[in-house]
Chains A and B, each alone.
Chain A
Amino acid sequence: MLKVLTRVFFDPALQKKKGFLRSLLLFKDLKDQELGVLAHALHSRTYHMGETLFMEGDIGRALFILESGKVDLSRRDGSGKERRIYPVEPGGFFGEMALLEQLPRTASAIAAERSHVYLLYRSKLDALLHDHPRIGASIMRHLAELLSARLRQSDAAVSGSLERA
């Protein structure tokens, strides 16, 4: 009886979406209800194989979170040829710099197979920071940690190549 009532009154799709979001590092500190608020703020879209999510040089305005499928990130080299730089797997996210600054994208993103993606639009994050500061602050903190880790990695890579030279 309780199961039937739960199925009638509660949305299983939201539970599934919250479960997925909970598994991501970026949202790991959020409580159940906060995940509901976040899930409500996200837009979703399914991309078919070969569809372009964004192009290098486009002004970025959203963070992309890959729920299923595969997305290739590529960048043009000196000769103008596209070079694949990173394949994004389910649970991965990309385009996060758009949440911090509206600058041209530094890479292109193309769906390598049928992919389902969530989009966190910058103004939605601003709204979260204003209306639900705990959620916004938690996302920003994890984003800052991620960027700091990437900066350390690139720092180490530059130092390594300088030493080798």
Chain B
Amino acid sequence: MAATLGAAFYALYHVLIPFLLGCAIAYIANPMVSYFEVRGLRREVTVIGLYTAIIVAAVMLAGTGFDIAMAELAELQADLPYYVEKLKGLRQALHARISQPLPVLGRTVQWDVHWDAKLSAASLLERVQDLPSYLLGVVPILSLLLLVPFISFFLMVDGPRSIGRMIQSCPSRYVEQVLHLISEIDTSLGNYLRGLIVIAAAITVTSFIGLLALGVDQALAIALLSGLSSFVPYLGAIVGALVGGLMAAFQFGTAAAGLKVVALFIGIRLADEFLLQPYIARHSVHLHPLVFLFTFMVGGEMFGFIGLLFAVPAACVIKALTGVLWAWYSSEARLQVPDSFDASVVPYT
């Protein structure tokens, strides 16, 4: 049964991706909707209000973000020949240094980087002809961008009603067990997913401010890359340190500048570990680091990047499921004696 379900999921996972992402977004946003719902507002009204606010904020942010992105793009375009020259110089220096003790390596490896503006323009024109195929490649991403909010809208509106329907349809005697399972999954998964969002936002903002303070070019792009990568635990700081460090080293021409960026991301990682994690992970999932690693490897191998994103949530669900099933089995089979308060000594007064 489980194997059949697993095989069906594997076969259909491309179709299921928007639904999984929609579920994740609806689930993460649920406390926000609940905040207004407990104050008496209809769920539908709250969700429509939330979507309107997000669209307005996105339009406003897109304007500012677009300006910054365009400025960074123009800056990159202007600086690219300079970076290539730098790279060329660096490689030539490395070549000279390596050729003396290892002449074979110096002869066999192509060390020169050529930057010819005319050649690059011609190559660029050739690339422009391939633009329609690039645009077609963007279609699945655009469809995801439209489909995921559409799905999450309906899931958000439906909200706890779907759990209510599940409780109503399960055999009456097992309602408590089903609630137990839902509660266990909610406790570990909810805190984990919401924690990820907080951490990603914190890493994006702090790294953007830090990179700006250090005067590193492409600060927004590096900060966004680092923030997005942090959805895979531990990856955000590594990506930020690597990309930001290289960018700073090239920009300022010194290794010290790169090391400053690396130090910034180490600081961000430590702050995340000691300031955010204790608060976020307090009620979150507790998985052994090796189990974390194993789930990432399995998720990545089977479903690529999406597999990396959903590896830990899937492990949370499996852990909760096995925990609840074991507790249920052990109580039914009387394998465990439940803890009880020893009230045999002091009489009631």
* A residues whose Cβ falls under 8 Å from a Cβ of B: 8-11, 14-15, 33, 36-37, 39-40, 43-47, 51-55, 58-62, 101-104, 119, 121, 123-124, 151, 155
- CB-CB contacts of B313-346 with A at 8 A, as 1s and 0s? 0000000000000000001000000111100000
Contact A55:B175 (CB < 8 A) given known A9-B41, A103-B338, A123-B183: no
The answer to whether the Cβ of B277 comes within 8 Å of any Cβ in the partner chain is no
What's the nearest-Cβ distance from chain A to residue B162, in Å? 12
**A11 contacts which chain B residues (CB < 8 A)?**
37, 40-43
The answer to whether the Cβ of B172 comes within 8 Å of any Cβ in the partner chain is yes
**B40 contacts which chain A residues (CB < 8 A)?**
10-11, 14-15, 36
26 contacts between A and B (CB under 8 A): A8-B42, A9-B41, A9-B45, A10-B41, A11-B42, A14-B40, A15-B40, A33-B38, A39-B38, A43-B164, A43-B167, A43-B179, A45-B167, A45-B168, A51-B172, A52-B173, A53-B173, A58-B173, A58-B176, A60-B176, A101-B340, A101-B341, A102-B339, A119-B175, A119-B179, A123-B183
Is B340's CB under 8 angstroms from A103's CB? yes
**A60 contacts which chain B residues (CB < 8 A)?**
176
Is B38's CB under 8 angstroms from A124's CB? no
Q: How far is the CA of A121 from the CA of B41 in the complex (A)?
A: 24
Is B341's CB under 8 angstroms from A37's CB? no
The SS class assigned to the A binding surface is mixed
Contact of A10 among B42, B164, B173, B339 (CB under 8 A): B42
Give the residue name and chain of the B residue nearest to A100 (CB): B341
Q: How far is the CA of A151 from the CA of B37 in the complex (A)?
A: 39
Give the residue name and chain of the B residue nearest to A123 (CB): B183
Q: How far is the CA of A1 from the CA of B41 in the complex (A)?
A: 17
Is A53's CB under 8 angstroms from B172's CB? yes
Is B175's CB under 8 angstroms from A45's CB? yes
**A61 contacts which chain B residues (CB < 8 A)?**
176-177, 179-180
What's the nearest-Cβ distance from chain A to residue B35, in Å? 10
Give the residue name and chain of the B residue nearest to A35 (CB): B38
**B331 contacts which chain A residues (CB < 8 A)?**
59
Q: How far is the CA of A95 from the CA of B101 in the complex (A)?
A: 82
- CB-CB contacts of B27-42 with A at 8 A, as 1s and 0s? 0000000100111111
**B184 contacts which chain A residues (CB < 8 A)?**
123
**B125 contacts which chain A residues (CB < 8 A)?**
none
What's the nearest-Cβ distance from chain B to residue A84, in Å? 18
Most chain A CB inside 10 Å of its own CB: which residue of B34, B40, B339: B40
Give the residue name and chain of the B residue nearest to A117 (CB): B175
Q: How far is the CA of A51 from the CA of B167 in the complex (A)?
A: 14
Is B338's CB under 8 angstroms from A101's CB? yes
Contact of A46 among B45, B168, B341 (CB under 8 A): B168
Q: How far is the CA of A104 from the CA of B37 in the complex (A)?
A: 35
